[in-house]
Amino acid sequence: MRIDIISVLPELMESPFQTSILKRAMQKGLAEVHFHQLRDWSLGKHRQIDDEPYGGGAGMIMMIEPIDKCISELKSQRAYDEVIYLTPDGETLTQKIANTLSIKENLIFLCGHYKGIDQRVRELHITKEISIGDYVLTGGELAACVLADSVIRLLPGVLNDEQSALTDSFQDNLLAPPIYTRPADYKGLKVPDILLSGNLKKIEEWQHEQALKITLEKRPDILE
Ligand code: ADE
């Protein structure tokens, strides 16, 4: 999978891809992430990428021309499955969206800033708008990192068996059951006996029951 991320602050996104699982995914050649500084496609010597809104109002708007030039150049090099704009008014990111994107080949993420982008960019290039939640960030960069992480970890070979994404919370519309590791008794706080019993069938039943109970308590909205 290849992800091209367009932003005025690409340096903000470097470290998540330089550590741990995402770094290994890059090193193994399972994912490629390319950052593009939008100002490289800007107009004039001031490297302008934003301007005042027609009709007045507060805040600056990201101009169509630099974004169009950047996306058009990328599109001339390969076919993209989706051009995704990270914005608080997009569809809220879910595990299902991450699953769907994880089988794509080439993706563009466009990070918004200021008041947002000229509407004509959406009409011309954007195929999907994604929000990571009902709150406003200073820009789309952190949202792009969240989206990229949620997708890349699903690529075959990125996680090993023990880390398997199939047992994640949300994958079966259930939150994960409680988990424990040694010691079995810490200052009187005990690990449930069933987990020490060695009876795999009973353990799986217990875990499923617990997952159901926790989902009902915390997130009844995701239960089917
Ligand atoms: N840009 C600003 N806020 C955002 C959010 N919540 N999700 C995605 N992009 C954003």
Asked if 104 and 184 sit in the same domain, the reply is no
Q: How far is the CA of 108 from the centre of ligand 1 (A)?
A: 16
Residue 50 pLDDT? 96
Distance, in Å, from the CA atom of 170 to the CA atom of 168, rounded to the nearest integer, reads 6
Classify residue 158: in a domain, yes or no: no
| Ligand 1 centroid from CA 59, angstroms | 16
- Residues 49-77 have pLDDT tens digits of 999 999 999 999 999 999 999 999 999 99
Backbone torsions φ then ψ of 25, nearest 5 degrees:
-60, -40
Q: Which residues pair with 83 in a beta bridge?
A: 108
The total domain count for the chain is: 2
Indicate if 47 and 124 belong to the same structural domain: yes
Look at residue 162 and tell me whether its pLDDT is greater than 70. no
Atom of ligand 1 nearest to the CA of 87: 9
pLDDT in tens, 90-122: 999 999 999 999 999 999 999 998 889 999 999
Query: Which stretch of 122-131, 157-166, 172-181, 210-219 has the lowest confidence by average pLDDT?
Result: 157-166
Residue closest via CA to ligand 1's atom 2 equals 137
Whether pLDDT at 203 is above 80: yes
62 CA to centre of ligand 1 in angstroms: 15
pTM of the predicted model, to two decimals?
A: 0.94
**For residue 129, what are the domain limits?**
2-152
